[in-house]
Amino acid sequence: MLEKKYVLIITYYFPPAGGPGVQRVTKFIKYLSDFGWTPIVLAPENPEYQARDESLAKELPADLIVRRAPIFEPYALYRKFTGKPAGQSLDVNVIKEAGAKLSMSERIAELIRGTLFIPDARIGWYWSAVKEGKRILREYPVSMIYSSSPPYTPALIARKMKRVSHKPWVVGFRDPWTGFHNTPARWLLPRKIDTSLEHSVFSEADLVEVAWKGIAEDAMAKYPDLPREKFIHIPNGFDSADFPEPDIAKRATKPNNARCTITYSGSLYGPRNPLSFLKAIEQLIEQREIELAKMHLRFVGRFGAEIHEMLDRPLIRAMVEKIEYVPHARAVELLLDSDALLLIVDEVPTVEHIVPGKVYEYLGAMRPIIAIAPPHGAIGELLRETHAGEAVAQADIDAQARLIKQIYDDWSNGTSNFPMNPAEISRYERREATRALAGLFDRLTNK
């Protein structure tokens, strides 16, 4: 009987966490054993997740070893200080558009966040997680360490585990670290500490696994001493097991909707908002290019207060349906029950490089994609490669209107102008991404 190869996986997001941050690591855990690796998970005990999805626990292997360590979460203090109600999602209500006005309490809270919580607000997990991680290393013959970020505290925990065990370590990143649009602005001393931590993680990890190429480009631009070959791109993906129809080609059959249904799934807030898309819809209505009664705009997820105001615009109000955050399986059903899917990328300086994990699940649903993103950026390139849709600039209302009208006409005529390529799309199966990750583990352990 072959000896088990254990990999210690350190992650903040883990079931029952919901939202996109948990999907990547959960799917890795689900499929690693297929490639000879047995995961041991170190996750926080009783964390305050902004979204929860109890159903994701069904994705995990029945014999999975999960160890949890206590965490101090500062959100109750933040809510009390800023006067925000208990239970309100902070992520979608705290991330503002550039130049947005903040209250005095919010400005003070941001200063505290930027000064004391380095690298992030989960630093209160560090010491208990290190203690539990050392216990795991004593109890199991761990061959590899893997950490998933953001948040970035798990990377610091993994760095400590490598230092005490000298085991190979792959650090995974779904987003960049310092200077990213949703990380806090810091004054000189905290900024130096944060960049020092970031550089040490990149330097001490054996490999850096990134979900989109721009993460590696960002790191190498900041730290020219880092070797390019240390960065490995493993794109996000979709899991065909999440869909009622496992055959990807058969999923291309669209529903027979009474109205042309365009669905957005995910979070919306400050720099990620649907305003330009809604203006394009309003333009089509005013020009009588589409009938208001025949359009259905469905927004599924968690939204900041300003987004609710946008979706209540008088001209489009009747066609808008808002659905609060739902379990992942239900979200997939809603994607399949759509004529097209809407993707909106944060309007930030790095927008050309950002590739949200959501776009791959959209690909797996085999529905045309309207992406509000730079046409010549990473998303535009992916959509051209897969023939799955089109990316149009946020500022180009006319181009958005043209694309929406094309989707509307396809629905009306029973045609399709997007010959999606199942062979190209199937390359982005989660199982294949896990195969690539396991290959990195094999390489580092020479097994």
CATH code of the domain occupying 5-73+121-237+430-445 = 3.40.50.2000
Residue 117: the pLDDT is: 84
Phi-psi region of 83 (alpha: psi -120 to 50; beta: other; left: phi over 0): left
User: Per residue in 96-145, pLDDT tens?
Assistant: 455 556 677 667 767 777 778 899 999 999 999 999 999 999 999 999 99
d(CA 269, CA 94): 8
343 forms beta bridges with 371
d(CA 15, CA 24): 12
- What confidence category does residue 206 fall into, taking pLDDT thresholds of 50, 70 and 90? very high
With beta carbons less than 8 A apart as the criterion, state whether 49 and 188 touch: no
The DSSP element (H or E) to which 167 belongs, if any, is none
- One-letter identity of residue 427: R
Look at residue 111 and give its three-state secondary structure: helix
Token output for 149: 């970020």
d(CA 388, CA 248): 13
- Which of 181, 121, 128 has its CA nearest to residue 157? 128
Contacts 24+ apart (CB under 8 A), 386-392: 386/420, 386/421, 386/424, 386/425, 387/418, 387/419, 387/420, 387/421, 387/424, 388/362, 388/363, 388/418, 388/420, 388/421, 388/425, 389/340, 389/341, 389/418
Token output for 296: 């259905």
Residue 90: the pLDDT is: 46
- What confidence category does residue 177 fall into, taking pLDDT thresholds of 50, 70 and 90? very high
Give the residue-averaged pLDDT of 317-336. Answer: 94
Greatest mean pLDDT among 73-77, 86-90, 285-289 lies in 285-289
* CATH topology match: 5-73+121-237+430-445 vs 241-427: yes
Residue 83: the pLDDT is: 53
Q: Answer yes or no: is pLDDT of 1 > 50.
A: no
With beta carbons less than 8 A apart as the criterion, state whether 386 and 424 touch: yes
Residue 6: the pLDDT is: 98
What is the residue extent of each domain of the chain?
Answer: 5-73+121-237+430-445, 75-116, 241-427
- What confidence category does residue 182 fall into, taking pLDDT thresholds of 50, 70 and 90? confident
d(CA 407, CA 369): 9
Give the residue-averaged pLDDT of 255-260. Answer: 95
Give the residue-averaged pLDDT of 197-220. Answer: 97
Residue 183: the pLDDT is: 84
Give the residue-averaged pLDDT of 205-232. Answer: 97
Residue 201: the pLDDT is: 98
d(CA 421, CA 382): 12
Backbone angles phi, psi at 416, to 5 degrees: -150, 130
Residue 21: the pLDDT is: 86
- With 0-12 / 13-18 / 19 or more C-beta atoms within 10 angstroms meaning exposed / middle / buried, residue 2 is exposed
What letters, b where the CB count within 10 A reaches 16 and e where it falls short, cover 174-194?
Answer: bbbbbbebebbebeeebbeeb
> Quick one: DSSP state of residue 427?
G
Q: Answer yes or no: is pLDDT of 149 > 80.
A: yes
Residue 403: the pLDDT is: 97
- What confidence category does residue 26 fall into, taking pLDDT thresholds of 50, 70 and 90? very high
With beta carbons less than 8 A apart as the criterion, state whether 150 and 174 touch: yes
Residue 82: the pLDDT is: 53
Within 10 A of 262 (CB to CB), how many other CB atoms are there? 25
> Which fold is adopted by the domain 241-427?
Rossmann fold (3.40.50)
